[in-house]
Amino acid sequence: MSAINREHLVTGDLTGRPGRIDRVETHRVTLPPGAASGPHTHPGGVAGYVTAGRIVYELDGHPAQELRAGSAFFEPAGATVRRFDNLSATEPATFVASYLLTGDQPLIESL
């Protein structure tokens, strides 16, 4: 199986603004056919929009839901993402995600 492709699109510098967020990084992420992200978390919140394909999305304590092209999602800072998986065995799924970050925080932390 191919690796998940994460393409950096833009970083917005938020330093000097009130609050604890230093920057927002936006990435286009492509999940290959059948790819599963595995349980993970994000140090900052993530807002995203699915542009192609079908994804099953499940936050800890919430029922799984299907996201399709045109669906938006939000993952609160520190929430455990149980599933963010491509539902197709033959087609990739793509989404654009904006990650709120401070300092040298990683985009994603595997659990």
Digit-coded pLDDT (tens) for 55-102? 999 999 999 999 999 999 999 999 999 999 999 999 999 999 999 998
Query: What CATH number is associated with residue 20?
Result: 2.60.120.10
User: Taking 80 as the threshold, does the pLDDT of residue 1 lie above it?
Assistant: no
- What is the value of pTM for the model shown? 0.88
Domain boundaries, position 46: 5-110
* CB 93 within 8 Å of CB 51: no
* CB 43 within 8 Å of CB 23: no
Domain count for the chain: 1
What is the Cα Rg of the chain in Å?
Answer: 14
In this prediction, residue 25 carries a pLDDT of: 95
**End-to-end CA gap in the chain:** 21
* CB 106 within 8 Å of CB 27: no
Digit-coded pLDDT (tens) for 5-55? 898 999 888 877 666 788 999 999 999 999 999 999 999 899 999 999 999
d(C-alpha 40, C-alpha 59), whole Å: 10
In this prediction, residue 28 carries a pLDDT of: 97
